[in-house]
Amino acid sequence: MTDQPLLSIRDLSLEFDTFDGVYKAIDSVSFDLAKGESLGIVGETGCGKSVTAKSILGLLPSPPARWTSGEIRFQGQDLLSLGESGLKRVRGTDISMIFQDPMTYLNPVFSVGAQLIDVIMAHQRLQPRSTRMSRREARAHAVDMLGQVHLPSPEQQLDNYPYQLSGGMRQRVLIAMALSGAPRLLIADEPTTALDVTIQAQILALIKELVADLGLSVILITHDLGVVADLCDRVVVMYAGQVVEDARVADLFNAPHHPYTQGLLAAVPHPGRPASALTGIAGSLPNLLAPPSGCRFQARCPLASDACGRRPPLAEVGDRHHTACWNHDGGRHA
Amino acid sequence: MAGAMLELQDLSVHFDVSKRGKGKTMLRAVNGVSLALNKGDSVGLVGESGSGKSTIGKAALHLIRPTSGRILLDGDDVTMPDARAEKALRRKAQMVFQDPHSALNPRMTILRSVAEPLILHSDQRGAALRRRVAELLDIVGLPRQFLYRYPHELSGGQKQRVCIARAIALNPRLLILDEPTSALDVSVQAQILEFLKQLQAEFGLTYLFISHNLAVVRYLCRRTAVLYLGRIVEEGETEAVFSAPRHPYTEALLRAVPLPQAVQPDRGEPLGGDIPSPIDLPSGCSFHGRCPRRVDGLCDRVEPPSVTVTDGWAVRCHNPISS
Amino acid sequence: MTDTVSKTTDLEALSWRERHHSAIRQVRLYSRTFARNGSAMFGLALVLIFVVVAIIGPWIVPFPEDAVGAVNMDIKLQPPDAVHWFGTDEVGNDVFTRVVLGTRLTVQIACIVTGIAILIGVPLGMVAGYMGGVVQEVIMRITDVFLSVPGLILAIAIVGALGPGIVNAMLALSLVWWPGYVRLVQAKTLALKNEIYVEAARSIGAGPMRIVFVHILPNCASPIVVKGSMDMGMAILGAASLGFLGLGAQPPEPEWGAMISIARNYLPDWWWYSFFPGIAIFITVLGFNLLGDGLRDILDPKHRE
């Protein structure tokens, strides 16, 4: 692909200064996102997927967060070097983010319309005065956005308060807010985890529709492999702050190379198949205050060897498929 | 029904949520649920928000008072237990709660938390008590050092094991598990589920497994009851129900779950609409507002009867899916 | 974590360090956070000085008889000098002695008032919060009535009815203080009642008494400790105010407020007589306030890791 990737993260490392010491949250994370692509970041607790996403928009309080290396290039520009004022121009207009629990991200004392119009007007302030929307135009735009996310009776909904909306409807409002500035990239951090199954299906379908209609690029952070398989083109698997594998979705499920990915897939119960034995992954997360050198999965890995003390690079094992493992078995153990 | 470990007969649980001056409002969480669990069985209660599944679990343990209906535990009527019957109930049936992070008192050591049922129901004290708790930790696979640790020092999976240890301390016959793995990572969930299977085999326990996660229910439960707004809409052997559901809601639910596999089947249009509130139950069949198989004039007026598909498989629907 | 070796570990072989490992870590964490807070350490220092002086007071004062009514008119109202560090009062008593011995009295007042307030207020608050319904309504309304009367006025009224004296003053102040704890504890109990571990305790068969004292009370402890330490300062001020009005300690008891009550008549020429007791009150109350603030900072869950 000769096209420049929309987002490119290279060797990103992040540490937190805590009472107990320095917490090495992510270690040399690298991945790309092409235009119009849906990328899933998958991992369990402590893998660093959320802090990676928040780093893109500079949403981590610093201190205690410290980026010790790496760069985050969006359309060629390094976001890490942007100060707060530079990031303000990026947030909402170039890159937007939606989060897990829709209730806590909406202010309960303001109507939905007020909050949405507030966001639209905030983006307008970044525009030159001559092209700014008036408040009335902003209101019309708000109704438009609510219609785009298929909220029933959008005109009436503007005056409703968050408590009057169901979980699914609130998440739609948040998506409308996120997209009101016409961003190129939407980052969704566990957007459906707090929602019921049938509502989750609706929201996932909505995101797919928006991707198709608006040419949106999406980074979806989740622990649910089913959601990733449904929504994403490519997947990045993270463990304890390191990227262990990245591949197209089909390749990941058909031929997982990294022992962690294999372990993860073997641990997921499949709703469409009769029960077969599930195997967990023995052991527990390494202490990120004093992580082992090299691959952080070695303590739990069935294929670990002495070589693992040296960090394996993300090596290509197939078309757009990389794995960070010295001893992988070529994906035969699928 | 002879041999039933737990039997719910036409159980209803309604909460009075009336606000002053606004008339009487009832939240109908559970509406006429009948269910029987045989000894050694594992039955899943599946549903989304408002289905009443958690309420059923708590009512069975008398943590919530039922509004009507009967609850029989091992043959004894425990619907309105007196103090003595309540104590006996607690020994026989225990619950493992949803969120291990808040199911343990943060100011109590693991020892004290797990010992609590023993302190309340037995006369073991001191060294004998500590030994018994250590044994329980062994059974759930935790190191003995944890006796003196506090919950915040343990991981989610470890905390859930502590909760399981606490639940089996009195050798109950029935365990009600309310979303025991929803708050856990996938790899940890797998360990806990495997462990629960072993535990059931080793101690001959009966499980009532409450969850919204269909994959987990399919893995662990031999029979499943699907709940919608406080009513069982379909009940039968898990394999049968999941491979060829008869109720349109069960079908929509199964279709909605994204599958962790490379090729996704065409899942069609997702089920539209929102789940109605249990305060304002729709008339007739509660599902009629969203149902693709709705029969106008019937489904919105008349509550559907229970239709037997085969022996042990029932559907509550006017227009069930045929095989 | 699930290795078989640990299964055979003998319980009794676990060292004291191992067993109390969590508590040790907690203490270290609190100490370190507390020590970083300059004003809290300063407050702690002041309170410690106050407590030490209260304990060793009787042994270090040069003129102990001055606190029990000795009269030396020939050295009355002398300014501070080498013998009388704080000067003398209108009956010739050494002000330094009286201030130091007043410390002991003040400690007693602060502890007893706060202690009684907590002993009454906390259980009432827990009962109100846990039982809800009519019981809660009754308790909270009574509390509201007490809280709507300004504290000092109520205390004056009570002492007025019972007669002046240090014991009655302490009683009055306790009766004024307990409602604050009821409010605090009731709110916390309401929140804790819905915690899952409380529900779990009920499912195990714990009765209301056990739940309230074993599960809810320890989790209420932090706000009670913080309020208690702040209240110590307020109780001292309250007792001093009553003493100042002549309703608390009676002469010749060396209570600071009572001393200032008489001393103000000798301002501004004989300034030392009111200055030193006043400074004593100021320093002690400041110490407790800073200490309370510091405690709140470390006990506030938002400040934890």
Q: Does A280 touch chain C (CB under 8 A)?
A: no
Q: Does A153 touch chain C (CB under 8 A)?
A: no
pLDDT surpassing 80 at residue C67: no
β-bridge partners, C31:
none
Q: Do C305 and A19 touch (CB under 8 A)?
A: yes
Ramachandran class of A77: left when φ > 0, alpha when ψ lies in -120 to 50, beta otherwise:
beta
Identify the band that residue C14 occupies on the pLDDT scale cut at 50, 70 and 90: low
Q: Give the Cα separation of B298 and B294 in Å (integer).
A: 8
Distance from CA of B94 to the nearest CA of C (A): 7
Q: Give the Cα separation of B49 and B68 in Å (integer).
A: 22
Distance from CA of B158 to the nearest CA of A (A): 10
Q: Do A231 and B267 touch (CB under 8 A)?
A: no
Distance from CA of C291 to the nearest CA of A (A): 22
Distance from CA of B89 to the nearest CA of A (A): 32
pLDDT of residue A85: 86
Contacts with A168 (C-beta within 8 Å, 6 or more apart), sequence order: A195, A196, A199, A202, A203, B274
What does the pLDDT look like over C181-230, one tens digit per residue? 999 999 999 999 989 999 999 988 888 889 999 999 988 888 898 899 88
Distance from CA of C242 to the nearest CA of B (A): 40
Minimum CA–CA partner of B129 in chain C: C11
Distance from CA of C48 to the nearest CA of B (A): 28
Dihedral pair phi/psi, residue B126, rounded to 5°: 55, -130
pLDDT values of chain A reduced to their tens digit, one per residue, 334 residues: 457 889 999 999 999 988 778 999 999 999 999 999 999 999 988 899 999 999 999 899 888 888 899 999 998 889 988 888 888 888 988 999 998 888 888 999 999 999 999 999 988 888 788 888 888 889 999 999 999 999 988 999 899 999 888 888 999 999 999 999 889 999 999 998 888 899 999 999 999 999 999 999 999 999 999 999 999 999 999 999 999 999 999 999 999 999 999 999 988 888 777 767 788 888 888 888 888 888 999 888 988 888 888 888 888 988 889 999 988 877 765 4
Q: Give the Cα separation of A309 and C51 in Å (integer).
A: 57
Q: Which residues of chain A from 121 to 140 reach within 8 Å of chain C, CB to CB?
A: none
Neighboring chains of A (3 or more beta-carbon pairs < 8 A): B, C
Minimum CA–CA partner of A18 in chain C: C305
| The B26-38 sheet, strands edge to edge | B26-38, B4-16, B68-73, B76-77
Identify the band that residue C57 occupies on the pLDDT scale cut at 50, 70 and 90: confident
**Before A302, cis peptide (omega within 30)?**
no
Minimum CA–CA partner of A23 in chain C: C305
CATH architecture of C91-303: Orthogonal Bundle (1.10)
| The A217-222 sheet, strands edge to edge | A95-98, A185-189, A217-222, A38-42, A234-239, A242-248, A321-323, A315-318
Q: Do B239 and A274 touch (CB under 8 A)?
A: yes
B contact test, residue of C5, C9, C10, C11 with most B CBs within 10 A: C11
Q: Does B134 touch chain C (CB under 8 A)?
A: yes
Neighboring chains of B (3 or more beta-carbon pairs < 8 A): A, C
pLDDT of residue C94: 84
Minimum CA–CA partner of A300 in chain C: C1
pLDDT of residue C304: 47
pLDDT of residue A303: 87
Identify the band that residue C40 occupies on the pLDDT scale cut at 50, 70 and 90: confident
Q: Give the Cα separation of C297 and C230 in Å (integer).
A: 13
Q: Does A253 touch chain B (CB under 8 A)?
A: yes
Comparing CB atoms, the residue among B121, B142, B143 nearest residue C205 is B121
Identify the band that residue C2 occupies on the pLDDT scale cut at 50, 70 and 90: very low
pLDDT of residue A2: 53
What does the pLDDT look like over C80-117, one tens digit per residue? 888 888 888 888 888 888 888 888 888 888 899 999 99
pLDDT of residue C302: 55
Domains of chain A, residue spans? 7-94+189-323, 106-182
Q: Which residues of chain C from 177 to 206 reach within 8 Å of chain B, CB to CB?
A: 195-197, 199-206
Q: Do A283 and C33 touch (CB under 8 A)?
A: no
Comparing CB atoms, the residue among B108, B144, B158 nearest residue C11 is B144
Contact A74, A185 (CB under 8 A): yes
Q: Do A19 and C1 touch (CB under 8 A)?
A: no
Comparing CB atoms, the residue among C1, C2, C29 nearest residue A19 is C29
- What does the CA dihedral B230, B233, B236, B239 come to, rounded to 10 degrees? -100
Minimum CA–CA partner of A228 in chain B: B260
pLDDT of residue B300: 87
Q: Which of B13, B9, B33 is nearest to B316 (CA)?
A: B33
The 3 state secondary structure assigned to chain B is CCCEEEEEEEEEEEEECCCCCCCCCEEEEEEEEEEEEECCCEEEEECCCCCCHHHHHHHHCCCCCCCEEEEEECCEECCCCCHHHHHHHHHHEEEECCCCCCCCCCCCCHHHHHHHHHHHHCCCCHHHHHHHHHHHHHHCCCCHHHHHCCHHHCCHHHHHHHHHHHHHCCCCCEEEEECCCCCCCHHHHHHHHHHHHHHHHHHCCEEEEEECCHHHHHHHCCEEEEEECCEEEEEEEHHHHHHCCCCHHHHHHHHHCCCCCCCCCCCCCCCCCCCCCCCCCCCCCCCHHHCCCCCCCCCCCCCCCEEEEECCEEEECCCCCCC
Contacts with B218 (C-beta within 8 Å, 6 or more apart), sequence order: A269, A271, A273, A274, A275, B224, B238, B239, B242
Contact B286, B276 (CB under 8 A): yes
Q: Do A19 and C33 touch (CB under 8 A)?
A: yes
Q: Which residues of A touch C31 (CB under 8 A)?
A: none
Q: Which residues of B touch A204 (CB under 8 A)?
A: 258, 270
Contact B195, B181 (CB under 8 A): no
What average pLDDT does the structure give for chain C? 84
Q: Which residues of B touch C218 (CB under 8 A)?
A: 105, 107-108
- Percent of chain C at pLDDT above 70? 92
Q: Do C195 and B107 touch (CB under 8 A)?
A: no
Identify the band that residue C13 occupies on the pLDDT scale cut at 50, 70 and 90: low
The 8-class DSSP code of residue A278 comes to: -
Comparing CB atoms, the residue among B99, B134, B148 nearest residue C21 is B148
Low-confidence residues of chain B, pLDDT below 50? 1
Domains of chain C, residue spans? 91-303
Q: Do C1 and B130 touch (CB under 8 A)?
A: no
Give one DSSP letter per residue of A281-311, joined into a string: --S----TTSPPSS-TTGGG-TT--GGGGSP
Q: Do A229 and B191 touch (CB under 8 A)?
A: no
What does the pLDDT look like over A274-287, one tens digit per residue? 767 788 888 888 88
Comparing CB atoms, the residue among B134, B145, B158 nearest residue C18 is B145
What does the pLDDT look like over A19-62, one tens digit per residue? 778 999 999 999 999 999 999 999 988 899 999 999 999 899 88
The average pLDDT across C131-159 equals: 90
* ipTM of the complex in this document: 0.86
- Beta strand B231-237 pairing with B223-228: antiparallel
Ramachandran class of A92: left when φ > 0, alpha when ψ lies in -120 to 50, beta otherwise:
left
Q: Which residues of A touch C29 (CB under 8 A)?
A: 19
Strands (E), chain C: none
Q: Which residues of C touch A20 (CB under 8 A)?
A: 305
CATH architecture of A7-94+189-323: 3-Layer(aba) Sandwich (3.40)
Q: Do A197 and B212 touch (CB under 8 A)?
A: yes
Q: Does A157 touch chain B (CB under 8 A)?
A: no
Dihedral pair phi/psi, residue B196, rounded to 5°: -65, -35
pLDDT surpassing 70 at residue C7: no
pLDDT of residue A332: 65
